[in-house]
Amino acid sequence: MLVLGVESSCDETAVALVEDGRVLASAVRSQIERHAPFGGVVPDIAARAHSEVIDLVADEAFRAAGRAPAQVDAVAATRAPGLVNCLVVGLSWGKGFAVARDVPFVAIDHLEAHVHACTLPPPGSDDAGPAVAPPLVALLASGGHTGLYRYDGPGQVRRLGRTVDDAAGEAFDKVAILLGLPYPGGPHVEAAARGGDPRAYAFPRARVKRRKYDVSFSGLKTAVLYGTRGRNQPKEAPLLPGTVVADVAASFQEAVCDLLVDVTVEAALEEGVPAIALGGGVACNGRLRALARERGEAQGLRVVLTPPAYCTDNAAMVAALAAARLRAGAPADDELSRFAEARSELA
Ligand code: KG4
Ligand code: ZN
């Protein structure tokens, strides 16, 4: 079965083709350059950019896969959560394709797709089998969302915890601005942290009372502000003399990774699942990956590090989840009537 996946929830336009468990093509076009001057994603610019390039990205996917549109057996597109104007572009494009070709359509939750991405074999491999079989506990840490999920297979996702304020990626992006690093901040903070001392600053690792796996990043962000500018100083204030950006970046990164890995490992042990997985853009972070492996394996857990290309937004995860749902026999008849929504029940 050849499944076409479409993703347009934020600032990446992506189209992928997945056939019998193998990712034949995963084309992604990022809009980062268009949004960089504004320091964040501008919704109207993003929606327009999706509509400008979606046909080109689809062409690229078909060419890379060596398949033709007439060979597609089912179509899937992200429905929620995300910027509604952006979701509408990919969702309508996918529905139109499915109706025109008279094939089933599947509407996909972006967060479930991120979780499911951990089952994808590495890009370019000939593997058709899943990289891991549920049950597992997945940490999803991206720019818009941070949550901890128990995953038992398609349609069986239960949220165990989440951030009560900023998403982990958002914290990286805001701290990057405080340190004068470019947008999007995550990869730049990671690069700046190399050679820095992760113990230079004792930044907080905040958990939420009585909500076992909930975390908070807003205090950490403030701690970075005060640590670099002085107490109660505005973010426009100059850096304190002697501030070593590498030390701040390393200490901040350590605080985020330490906290996220702790809750993930704890949840897996309490849920009694044999594996943990990392997904979302922040899961590209080398320190997060290393710490998860170290602490997870020390507890006898299998640690699944989703390939970076499937951590950031992509359509392979959308097509793969749809294929798994169709294999499980999920009805796809009414899915054409599902609309784009900013929020997800999983957030
Ligand atoms: O999943 P994603 O591509 O988009 C959504 O938010 O859905 O995640 C983007 C986020 C950004 O906040 C970016 O700064 C962060 O992931 N990120 C990283 C790294 N690479 C991307 N954060 C920390 N370290 C990285 N290497
Ligand atoms: Zn995402």
Question: For the segment 207-242, what is each residue's pLDDT rounded down to a tens digit?
Answer: 998 889 999 999 999 999 999 999 999 999 999 999
To the question of pTM greater than 0.85 for the whole model, the response is yes
Extended beta strands in 95-248, E state: 105-109, 136-141, 146-151, 157-162, 206-208, 211-216
Host domain of residue 114:
2-123+310-337
Please report the pLDDT score of residue 332 as a whole number.
Answer: 65
Q: Does residue 243 lie in a domain region?
A: yes
CA of 281 to the centre of ligand 1 (A): 3
Domain count, the chain: 2
Atom of ligand 1 nearest to the CA of 110: 7
Residues 101, 152, single domain; the answer is: no
Residues 111, 145, single domain; the answer is: no
Residues 169, 201, single domain; the answer is: yes
The number of residues making up the chain comes to 347
The answer, yes or no, to whether any atom of ligand 1 lies below 6 A from the CB of 316, is: no
- Cα 74 to Cα 168: distance, rounded to the nearest angstrom: 34
Residues 172, 279, single domain; the answer is: yes
Q: Is 49 exposed, middle or buried (0-12, 13-18, 19+ CB in 10 A)?
A: buried
In the chain, the amino acid numbered 52 is E
Residues 317, 273, single domain; the answer is: no
Q: Does residue 282 lie in a domain region?
A: yes
The answer, yes or no, to whether any atom of ligand 1 lies below 6 A from the CB of 190, is: yes
Residue 153 gets the label, from left (phi > 0), alpha (psi -120 to 50) or beta, of: left
Residues 238, 163, single domain; the answer is: yes
Q: Does residue 228 lie in a domain region?
A: yes
Q: Does residue 345 lie in a domain region?
A: no
Q: What is the pLDDT of residues 77-106, one digit of tens each?
A: 999 999 999 999 999 999 999 999 999 999
How many H-runs (helices) and E-runs (strands) does the chain carry? 11, 12
